[in-house]
Structure 1
Amino acid sequence: MKKLYTYAIALMLTAGPTMADEPEVVDVTATQTGDTWRFDVSILHPDSGWDHYADGWEVIDAEGNQLGLRPLAHPHENEQPFTRSQGGIVIPDGTTEVYIRTRDNVDGWFTTRTAVTLD
Structure 2
Amino acid sequence: MTKSYLLARPHIVPEQAKPRSVFLRVTLLLAALLAAPFHTTADEPTPVSATIESQGSGFFTISVTLKHADEGWEHYANRWEVLDGEGNILATRTLLHPHVNEQPFTRNLSAVRLPNSLDTIYIRAHDSKHGYGRRKIKLAVPE
- Relative to the length of structure 1, the TM-score reads 0.83
SS in 2 for 1:21: coil
Offset of 1:6 from its aligned partner?
6.0
Match of 2:77 in 1: 54
Separation in 2, partners of 1:7, 1:53 = 37
What are structure 1's unaligned runs of at least 5 residues? none
Offset of 1:114 from its aligned partner?
0.9
- Relative to the length of structure 2, the TM-score reads 0.70
Q: Which runs of 4+ in 1 moved over 6 A?
A: none
Separation in 2, partners of 1:71, 1:28 = 16
Alignment of 1:44-83 (within 5 A): 44-83=67-106
Separation in 1, partners of 2:44, 2:24 = 28
SS in 2 for 1:2: helix
Matched, 1:30 2:58: no
> What is the alpha-carbon root mean square deviation over aligned residues?
2.3
Q: Which moved more, 1:74-83 or 1:31-40?
A: 31-40
Separation in 2, partners of 1:43, 1:111 = 13
Separation in 1, partners of 2:26, 2:53 = 48
SS in 2 for 1:20: coil
Where is the helix percentage greater, Structure 1 or Structure 2? Answer: 2
CA offsets 1:59-114 (integer angstroms, 9 cap, x no match): 00000011100111110011111111111211111211100010000011234311
Separation in 2, partners of 1:96, 1:73 = 30
The structure whose Rg is larger is: 2
Match of 2:136 in 1: 113
Where is the strand percentage greater, Structure 1 or Structure 2? Answer: 1
Matched, 1:84 2:107: yes
Matched, 1:104 2:141: no
Match of 1:2 in 2: 22
Aligned residue pairs, count: 117
Offset of 1:4 from its aligned partner?
5.2
Percent of residue pairs bearing the same amino acid type: 37
